[in-house]
Chain A
């Protein structure tokens, strides 16, 4: 059974049905790309996987290691190994970034990692992602540029070592250099124990993270699935072609 298995999932937001039956399997060691135009429901799927309380699962199930996690709180999901890198990471005023990371890492490990060891790992992750030392003095996402926020998401992924990572438009807002650094950072984390779902509009991040499968979402449904070549097709021809079937 796939590490993450989404079965016929329907999700309602603010009284509107957004996802209308999504089925998707993510195996360990695999990278999936989910593409689709704005408003097709990609972020909705990402939030539903992460357990955002505003995204109400009205049908179907989300199985993680065979267990239905739809009733789990967001923190339970994360501690179990499901990670969401958000499209729009949230600024949490006044909350010390270092303090937050340490609390998060300890929560995921379910034990207190010695400060020295934690700081060592943090510094390594920071230099891997070309993040400045001054980050340590800042508050969570507060005053970060779009690019800095995206880097910080991947930094957290590196520290939290998830088994399933959903990356919601991590590439958007990154310039060429930043895209390379962030993508390489993600690539380093890939391996036989991690499944990655890359949500994106464009193929540029996929040049670093070659997907095993590409899925196309439109109107809250997966309307096409294929290999990496599908991504190039989409970039060339756009999504109009699928509009009819949506």
Chain B
């Protein structure tokens, strides 16, 4: 292949057949600095040595058959003329006076709006490529990939879906919050998939010491008309995302991730934060859309006293396969993590929860807690839940719990006995089930959006078919 000036080719290469030339061409065509190109090429070397995930070879993929669900022969998506696309309204559009909003469509950053006041106070939100060529180049270079495969940071991720993004990320967004700036308004990043192919969005957010920021990452799109599929399970859209968040000392970072893709999207996302001394990272995810979702909310607790609070909900219906794998790595002493995920399932659907907590030998005084609850509403749905603890240090407090069940007959009877119709009662019970997570959401618009989505899922359910546990015993036996 010769050096071209645009990343477009007549016959787009399938992801599986990408060559070093493609990586190089895309980078140079975009005018990226050479260090960035080198980093992509290094990631691509790793990529060449790797295999696609395999449920037998990789325990983290045990319950998600990559080869059956993800189409690696899809071409990289080509950016489209932005004028031609109609974008659905998302929750980011409803945020009250956001500090910044970014719209990404089909592998390109379409627009970035930053509130002037916040910009004057030092908030930077720009495309990753612009950032790499501007005053923030040093920060970008220091942190980009530091939590994944290419950097020098805490993380080396062995997964090929990550090196794919490292080598080939398309639309990159960079957020920088200078020291001591508390950005009290949220920053919204909307990523749309309106065309078939492989979408490789990337986010790098750096909160310097004592900074504060709330990121709302919203994924929309899919539901493409007549897009060809390789097989029934494989989707014409693959979104393979990497989000890196650097939370420097005593910073407070809130990440909110809402996925409402259509059911022709496979969404793989690593959303990883490095939390330094006394930093707090909160992460909330609502996984509602997509045919296949594999979400990895991860926090490396790198500094003493750091805290991580990942929480989320998911609601899977007919044909959806959700795999949620939070990973907390306690590297430094006296750090805290508290993980809480709740999911409901209906129809022929599948949820996999694998929660991982690693506590290093040095991480004395760690406090960690991990919980997952699944509610199986109708026959045919299945949830596999396994909290894993890998502990090298004795001096810690650790708790974990996991439960999968049905609607409790006692709850249903109690509400019905007070006049509520069966469907009213079921609705309240399901919403009540999620409440523990929902009440932690700090942005009202996100809470409302999640509630509305849960309500829509309940509307989909055939409430006559809802399984109720045989909770016949109402009275403690004396």
A residues adjacent to B (C-beta < 8 A): 13-14, 38-39, 43, 47, 50-54, 73-75, 77-79, 84, 86-90, 92-96, 99-100, 103-104, 107-108, 139-140, 156, 160
Residue of A nearest to B472 (CB): A54
B residues adjacent to A (C-beta < 8 A): 409-411, 413-422, 424-425, 428-429, 431-436, 472, 474-476, 478
- Is the CB–CB distance between B419 and A75 below 8 Å? yes
Residue of A nearest to B475 (CB): A88
Residue of A nearest to B478 (CB): A38
Contacts A38-B478, A47-B474, A99-B428 given; indicate if A94 touches B433 (C-beta within 8 A): yes
> Which 9 A-B pairs give the minimum distances between C-beta atoms?
A94-B435, A94-B432, A95-B432, A54-B472, A107-B419, A90-B414, A78-B419, A74-B416, A75-B416
Residue of B nearest to A110 (CB): B419
- Is the CB–CB distance between A104 and B420 below 8 Å? yes
Q: CA separation between A51 and B472, bound complex, in Å?
A: 13
Number of A-B contacts (CB under 8 A): 102
Query: What residues of chain A lie closer than 8 Å to B411, measured between beta carbons?
Result: 90, 92-93, 95
- Is the CB–CB distance between B431 and A14 below 8 Å? no
Q: Give the most central of B416, B436, B476: most A CB within 10 Å.
A: B416
Query: What residues of chain B lie closer than 8 Å to A95, measured between beta carbons?
Result: 411, 415, 428-429, 431-432, 435
- Is the CB–CB distance between B472 and A88 below 8 Å? no
- Is the CB–CB distance between A75 and B435 below 8 Å? no
Q: CA separation between A173 and B415, bound complex, in Å?
A: 23
CB distance from B95 to the nearest CB of A (A): 25
Q: CA separation between A160 and B478, bound complex, in Å?
A: 31
- Is the CB–CB distance between B474 and A103 below 8 Å? no
List 19 extra interface pairs beyond A39-B478, A74-B413, A95-B432, CB under 8 A. Answer: A43-B475, A47-B474, A75-B419, A78-B416, A78-B417, A78-B419, A88-B474, A88-B476, A90-B414, A92-B429, A93-B436, A95-B428, A95-B429, A96-B435, A100-B415, A100-B420, A104-B415, A139-B435, A140-B432
Query: What residues of chain B lie closer than 8 Å to A88, measured between beta carbons?
Result: 474-476
A-B contact list, 17 entries, CB within 8 Å: A13-B472, A54-B409, A88-B474, A90-B411, A92-B428, A93-B432, A93-B433, A94-B432, A95-B415, A95-B431, A96-B435, A100-B418, A103-B420, A103-B424, A104-B415, A104-B419, A140-B414
- Is the CB–CB distance between B414 and A75 below 8 Å? no
Q: CA separation between A79 and B433, bound complex, in Å?
A: 25
- Is the CB–CB distance between A160 and B418 below 8 Å? yes
Query: What residues of chain B lie closer than 8 Å to A75, measured between beta carbons?
Result: 416-422, 425
